[in-house]
Amino acid sequence: MNTSLTGKRPKTLSLKENYALLTRGLGWDTTYEPMDKVFPQDKFEGIKIHDWNKWEDPFRLTMDAYWKYQGEKERKLYAIVDAFQQNNGQFNVSDARYINTLKLFLTGISPLEYGAHRGFAMAGRNFRGAGAAIAAQMQAIDELRHAQTQAHTISHYNKFFNGLHDYTHMFDRVWYLSVPKSYFEDAMTAGPFEFVTAISFSFEYVLTNLLFMPFMSGAAFNGDMATVTFGFSAQSDESRHMTLGLEGVKFILEQDPDNIPIVQRWLDKWFWRGYRLLTLVAMMMDYMLPKRVMSWGEAWEMYFEQNGGALFNDLSRYGIRLPKYHEVAAKEKDRLSHEAWATFYNYTHAAGFHTWLPEASEMKWLAEKYPMTFDKLYRPRFEFWREQQQKGQRFYNNTLPMLCQVCQVPTFFTEPDDPTKICHRESDYRDNKFQFCSDGCKDIFDHEPEKYVQSWLPVNQIYQGNCFRPGVDPTVPGFDPLLEVLHYYGFHVGEDGGEFQDSPDCKNWERWTGKPGAAA
Amino acid sequence: MSVVALSPGYTGEIKDRVENFHGKQLLFISWEDHLMYCAPMCIPVPPNLPFGALTAEIIPGMYVAHPDTPKIDWSRVVWLRTGQVFAPDPAKSLTDNGLGHKALLRFRTPGLNGLNGSGT
């Protein structure tokens, strides 16, 4: 195979030549139709590109090499997942509460992997530069592989635990899953440059350590080797995605000074949207991992305030500053996880995973990690709830919450300078009122109200009568609308949500493993 | 510019127009310093509902598990509409009290500041 027909050994291409031929070498300028008609979506955002050849993929990855490396990785990954399944690895995790972390991640984040696949496929189609198009296409395939491997994980855990039986159905309907869903759909419905700035840079470069680090090291700490293996496999892709995010943003900034204010606005917006999404991670780290890695507050300081600070120092030579409201995130770091967990404790009967009260040793850890806030602001509610629970009156909130028009999280966040007062912000637009959780979300709305008036807010949709199964008659006597909503979500009522201690998951765990459901 | 879009003049459908709520409107209610109930409540109400029905039944029913709820002295409550203090007339409707679709009604109960005064 190494000799040509003439018997001469062909010249081996250098990596650089190979990359040039398999990227730019595959592109051409169209002549039957004007380029602007073939690529209609890469100008309306206002981004000006003068020379697409300046796009540099630092990995110089080409399709032939891609198949080879990824094929090897997949074989190893599936061999380990197979071994995990055959050895009943799911029973080696720290305790059954941990599984709820997985449920939240697998139902909330895995569909985003598929969303990313779609988004990068569209970006790949819409960039007229061949280098950028091919990088986006390869990332689209990465994301599809990640969605697939996570579907295998879901399939395995679903055999033993509740709440994972129909994650794609739930993703399009359930109130808290609308938070990641709307985040991603916001990015996908923007133009290709905003999409890559949002996902490749703001999420994958700036914030990803706050998602993957706690999730993967949390999995390792808690004995979940299936997730750890997936993490290692995905990590080499993630580092490529991160580098592309950074190189992509630098490329845009270097092409034209007019691009700078546009990119800055996107960085402000997508920092804030990504940070609001990470609220779920904050509560996972501080409340849901039976063995904790580090606190959310510590993670924020290390991964955003220090590492992110250094990154934005580097970008200052382009005229880019730290994202707006980063100081609000810093003020919220001592309260975010507590406020979020309390919210899911309020509404866990309408969720697809369980909540519980932190035990005495866990409250001690929380008080040590959050000396300024925990004992004063959050311990009283947990102690009151414990008393109620011991009396057989587990507290549930039976009225639906107000949601933020932009991030779609219940508006539980408190004023930046007063952790005892809910932060309320409001806008009037086209004779309607819109409510927000923060200045960050209000700014996003006020800049593009025509986009966010269309938000599908789960609570408001329920009250419009749009969240019942087809054929259900809400006028029959005794109709319970909120119970019907849970059926519409596809939940198994009484199994998937509610208090952990009362759950079939907890009882099954004790029966199958002989270990307590919640190891103190 | 109210949206960055491919088509000039693009507009979006307002998903939560009052017409979509079958004769009702949404009201958001927030009890300050009682964060055991984690976020403001969202309820559908008829626009002609007398304000007094909120204090007589609806609000106590929503916050039923809070030990401060039976202690509320409604004559001392401070009401806020879009962040501004106002004096509602209990006999008049929500509309006549200036509470339209998706209005936010906040209230403070002086002397009642949550579990052990912690704001929860």
pLDDT tens digits for range B79-96: 999 899 999 999 999 999
**A414-415 and A418-422 as β-strands: parallel, antiparallel, unpaired?**
antiparallel
pLDDT surpassing 60 at residue A189: yes
Cβ contact A343–B39 (<8 Å): yes
What SS3 state is found at A494?
coil
pLDDT for B81 equals 96
For A164-307, strand residue ranges (E) read none
* Rounded CA separation A382/A421 (Å): 18
Q: Which residue has the tokens 């004992």?
A: A375
Contacts of B115 in chain A (CB under 8 A): 380-381, 384
Cβ contact A46–B28 (<8 Å): no
**Complex prediction ipTM:** 0.97
Q: Span A409-415, mean pLDDT?
A: 98
Alpha carbon of A271 to those of A180, A183, A264, A327, A452: distances in Å?
14, 11, 10, 12, 17
In a domain, B6, yes or no: no
What values do phi and psi take at B15, rounded to 5?
-70, -30
Residue A5: pLDDT band with limits 50, 70, 90? low
In a domain, B10, yes or no: no
In which element (H, E) is residue A225 found?
helix A225-255
Summarize pLDDT for A98-117 with one digit per residue, the tens. 999 999 999 999 999 999 99
| Mutant choice from B6, B36, B84 vs A, greatest count of A C-beta within 10 A | B36
DSSP A79-127: HHHHHHHHTTGGGGSS-TTHHHHHHHHHHHTHHHHHHHHHHHHHHHHH-
Summarize pLDDT for A417-454 with one digit per residue, the tens. 999 999 999 999 999 999 999 999 999 999 999 999 99
Count of domains observed in chain B: 1
A–B interface: beta-carbon pairs under 8 A:
152
Q: Span A490-502, mean pLDDT?
A: 96
Whole-model pTM? 0.95
Closest residue in A to B20 (Cα) is A464
Which amino acid appears at position B12 of this protein?
A: G
User: A113 vs chain B: nearest CA distance in angstroms?
Assistant: 25
Closest residue in A to B23 (Cα) is A464
Q: What is the CA radius of gyration of chain B?
A: 17
What values do phi and psi take at A424, rounded to 5?
-110, 130
Write the residue in A44, A397, A398 that is nearest to B38 by C-beta: A397
Q: What is the CATH number of the domain that holds B42?
A: 3.10.20.560
Tokens of A173: 């309907």
Cβ contact A449–B3 (<8 Å): yes
Question: Residue A266 pairs with which residues in a beta bridge?
Answer: none
Query: Which candidate, A247, A229, A417, A377, places its Cα nearest to that of A318?
Result: A247
Cβ contact A395–B65 (<8 Å): yes
In a domain, B5, yes or no: no
Residue B22, sorted as left (phi over 0), alpha (psi -120 to 50) or beta, turns out to be left
* Rounded CA separation A31/A86 (Å): 58
Residue A208: pLDDT band with limits 50, 70, 90? confident
pLDDT higher at A231 or B6? B6
Angle of CA points A222, A217, A355, to nearest 5° = 55
Cβ contact B118–A454 (<8 Å): no
Residue A484: half-sphere exposure toward Cβ, Cα within 13 Å: 18
Share of chain A above pLDDT 70, in %: 98
Closest residue in A to B62 (Cα) is A399
Identify which of A210-219, A305-314, A345-354 has the greatest average pLDDT. A345-354
Residue A520: pLDDT band with limits 50, 70, 90? low
Residue A325, sorted as left (phi over 0), alpha (psi -120 to 50) or beta, turns out to be left
Write the residue in A190, A424, A430 that is nearest to B104 by C-beta: A424
Residue A401: pLDDT band with limits 50, 70, 90? very high
pLDDT for A504 equals 97
Q: How far is CA A315 from the centre of its chain?
A: 25
Q: How far is CA A212 from the centre of its chain?
A: 10
pLDDT surpassing 80 at residue B70: yes
Question: Helical H runs in A326-412?
Answer: 326-332, 336-347, 360-369, 379-390
Closest residue in B to A189 (Cα) is B5
* Rounded CA separation A423/A491 (Å): 32
CB A322 within 8 A of CB A311: no
pLDDT for A1 equals 47
Summarize pLDDT for B24-40 with one digit per residue, the tens. 999 999 999 999 999 99
Cβ contact A343–B38 (<8 Å): yes
Cβ contact B39–A400 (<8 Å): no
* Rounded CA separation A47/A255 (Å): 9
In which element (H, E) is residue A434 found?
strand A432-436
What values do phi and psi take at B108, rounded to 5?
-120, 140
pLDDT surpassing 50 at residue A94: yes
User: A346 vs chain B: nearest CA distance in angstroms?
Assistant: 7
Which range marks the domain in which residue B101 is found? 20-117
pLDDT for A327 equals 97
Domain boundaries, chain A: 52-513
Write the residue in B24, B39, B119 that is nearest to A402 by C-beta: B39
* Rounded CA separation A27/A125 (Å): 12
User: Length of chain A, please?
Assistant: 520
Alpha carbon of B47 to those of A296, A428, B99: distances in Å?
43, 19, 8
The domain defined by A52-513 carries CATH number 1.10.620.20: yes
In a domain, B14, yes or no: no
* Rounded CA separation A152/A113 (Å): 14
In a domain, B3, yes or no: no
CB A403 within 8 A of CB A459: yes
Which amino acid appears at position A337 of this protein?
A: S
User: B89 vs chain A: nearest CA distance in angstroms?
Assistant: 22
Mean pLDDT (chain A) is 93
Write the residue in A381, A388, A451 that is nearest to B3 by C-beta: A451
Cβ contact B120–A424 (<8 Å): no
